[in-house]
Structure 1
Amino acid sequence: MINKEQIAADYREIQDDICTALEKCDGKGMFQEELWEREGGGGGRTRVIQNGNIFEKGGVNFSAVHGTLPHTLKKALNVEEEDFFATGVSIVIHPNHPFVPIIHMNIRYFEMPSSMESGKTPVRWFGGGIDLTPHYIIDEDARFFHQYLRSVCDKFNADFYHRFKTWADDYFFIKHREETRGVGGIFYDRLVANEEMSFDDIFEFSKTLGRAFIPIYAELVERNRHKAFSNEQQLWQYQRRSRYAEFNLVYDAGTRFGLETNGRIESILMSLPPTAKWLYNFEPETGSEEEKTLSLLKKGINWA
């Protein structure tokens, strides 16, 4: 049976492969690595790329942590045990180009080791997802992104894409703005073995999603990186980044989990953009690309 050590090892390999491919894609930027240890148990590898040809700031982080869950998280997770193990890869890339989208991906595994004892129902599950936040929504790019995700999901379960796409629409929603963070993607949590899928199958799905990151994002970067843009379009990019920051600081479950389990602050807040702007009461011009983008920040759009 696959154990937590094997899961962590495979996630580390995915981190390595993604970092190598992103450096090649950028052509200039190189990842800087920082190894860290968590007080309470475990640690990780934070890798950050900055000031590249196309990637202004990005991170590809791996962690494998363990210890005792705070009472608030025990209650939130609805579990009785206190000991936990969690591992995963988390990615956020902020490009310097307004026509190249922000992208986020996370694949993760959680278990409570004491529940693995004989005679108990194991508490262990996978979670994750990938979503796209364009500064300007380009229909063809959004369709490519969702069609690729649908092909990944359909290899494992015909119901996955619809379920996880709806979940992403609901999760990546900025309630106080009444708009989605971007064009969504897929999101899932507490995915467990059942009659339809074994534990090993779900792990393979998690890894396949992780390995889909590069073919998806490299294609979107190459489609858009050489387009000319104006100062006004870059200002719009900074404004859209502010919405990304608002979501991560107010609603993101991974941010809350990291902060409440005494995670490393620099790694947790790596997802924030290097520059963002909040323009007061901005109203886009009628018929503009900015107005079009705002009109498409809604749940339930069938991009695939």
Structure 2
Amino acid sequence: MPTKDSIRDWFSTLQQDICSQLEVADGTGKFISDAWERPGGGGGVSRVITDGKILEKGGVNFSAVWGPAPEHVLRSLKVPADASLEFFATGVSIVLHPHSPMVPIIHMNTRYFEMSNGTWWFGGGIDLTPHYADEADARYFHQQLKGVCDQHHPSYYPAFKKWADDYFYLKHRQETRGIGGIFFDYLKDNEGFTKASRFEFIRAVGSAFAPLYIYYMQKNHSLPYTERQKEWQCLRRGRYVEFNLVWDRGTKFGLDTDGRTESILMSLPPQARWEYNHRPTPGSPEQHTLDLLKKDIDWIA
């Protein structure tokens, strides 16, 4: 059975593998490593890339932290506040922002959480946020994720795709953050699943990330674009910022547990823009993108 140490070590290796693959695909960009310690226990390594050939800014974070269980976590588990309960959390979190508005933003998180009373679970997911939504690109993305999920259980993709649609949703804008993906949390040893089988699924998701995003890097980075399209990219980045700062649970968890602020906020783009009451031209590619930022689209059909 996997232990918290073996799970932590695999996440650390995953970080290195993903960074190596992305550096090769980018061609010029290199990740810098920034090791940090958490005062309450544990720490991690933030690896950040800036001003590459394709990637304008990106972060691949690894962490393993522990300490007294946060009160909000105990509430979510319906466990009475108990100062003696300790938590352990480890995982990898990634956000990549490309130079070109024709290349999408991507996010992945794979994580493991354990408490000293024996409770444990896995969580995570991958979602894609194109500046310009393209049905063929969205179909490929969801086909690849469905293939990963189907290797482990036929219920995974439909359940986790729905969960992503609901989670990556800007309620105040009534639009999804992008074209979704998969999202899951509280995967435990229930319903016939074991800790080993849950971990195997997490490993498959993590290993799928780099090849999947490199597909879009190679396919789209050389496409021409205009200054108007760069301006639209900045507006879409603004929506990304809104989600991460207003709705994202990972951001809130990191800040609530005294995580490293620079690592938590590395998900934010280098530039973003807000324009009052912006409305794209009817029939434009920008309007087409907004029309596709909806829940429950069957991208594979």
Tell me the TM-score normalized by structure 1: 0.96
* Structure 1 position 257 matched with structure 2 position 253: yes
Task: For residues 277-301 of structure 1, give each alpha carbon's deviation from its aligned partner in whole angstroms, at most 9, with x where no partner exists.
Answer: 0011111111110000000000000
The secondary structure found in structure 2 opposite 1:58 is strand
Q: Counterparts of 1:17 and 1:278 in 2: how far apart (Å)? A: 36
Deviation at 1:196?
2.3
Residue type at the aligned position of 2:17: D
The corresponding residue for 1:84 is 87
Listed as ranges, the gaps of 5+ residues in structure 2 are none
Q: Counterparts of 1:194 and 1:68 in 2: how far apart (Å)? A: 26
Task: For residues 21-75 of structure 1, give each alpha carbon's deviation from its aligned partner in whole angstroms, at most 9, with x where no partner exists.
Answer: 0000111110000100001100000000000001000000000000012323321
The corresponding residue for 2:123 is 127
The corresponding residue for 2:68 is 68
Matches within 5 A, 1:285-304: 285-304=281-300
Q: Counterparts of 2:13 and 2:23 in 1: how far apart (Å)? A: 16
More deviation in 277-286 or 175-184? 277-286
Matches within 5 A, 1:25-44: 25-44=25-44
**Cα pair 2:124 2:183 within 8 Å, conserved:** yes
* Structure 1 position 168 matched with structure 2 position 156: no
The corresponding residue for 2:23 is 23
Residue type at the aligned position of 2:114: E
Deviation at 1:77?
3.5
Q: Counterparts of 1:179 and 1:2 in 2: how far apart (Å)? A: 39
Q: Counterparts of 1:137 and 1:195 in 2: how far apart (Å)? A: 36
Q: Counterparts of 2:288 and 2:53 in 1: how far apart (Å)? A: 28
Q: Counterparts of 1:77 and 1:92 in 2: how far apart (Å)? A: 28
Matches within 5 A, 1:80-229: 80=80, 82-113=85-116, 115=117, 122-229=118-225
Residue type at the aligned position of 1:92: V
Q: Counterparts of 2:177 and 2:154 in 1: how far apart (Å)? A: 26
Q: Structure 1's 192 and 303: CA in aligned 2 closer, same or farther, altered over 3 A?
A: same
The corresponding residue for 1:7 is 7
Deviation at 1:10?
0.5
**Cα pair 2:69 2:115 within 8 Å, conserved:** no
Deviation at 1:195?
4.1
Q: Counterparts of 2:97 and 2:288 in 1: how far apart (Å)? A: 22
Q: Counterparts of 1:145 and 1:72 in 2: how far apart (Å)? A: 34
The secondary structure found in structure 2 opposite 1:209 is helix
Deviation at 1:138?
1.0
Residue type at the aligned position of 1:90: S
What CA RMSD, in Å, does the superposition of the two structures yield over aligned residues? 0.9
The secondary structure found in structure 2 opposite 1:300 is coil
Q: Counterparts of 1:12 and 1:52 in 2: how far apart (Å)? A: 23
Residue type at the aligned position of 1:60: V
Residue type at the aligned position of 2:198: I
Q: Counterparts of 1:77 and 1:58 in 2: how far apart (Å)? A: 33
Q: Counterparts of 1:79 and 1:5 in 2: how far apart (Å)? A: 25
Q: Counterparts of 1:221 and 1:140 in 2: how far apart (Å)? A: 15
Q: Counterparts of 2:72 and 2:211 in 1: how far apart (Å)? A: 39
Residue type at the aligned position of 2:7: I
Residue type at the aligned position of 2:257: T
The secondary structure found in structure 2 opposite 1:212 is helix
Residue type at the aligned position of 1:288: S
Q: Counterparts of 1:229 and 1:38 in 2: how far apart (Å)? A: 42
Tell me the TM-score normalized by structure 2: 0.97
Deviation at 1:79?
3.0
Aligned residue pair count: 297
Q: Which runs of 4+ in 1 moved over 3 A?
A: none
The corresponding residue for 1:277 is 273
Residue type at the aligned position of 2:115: M
Q: Counterparts of 2:166 and 2:145 in 1: how far apart (Å)? A: 17
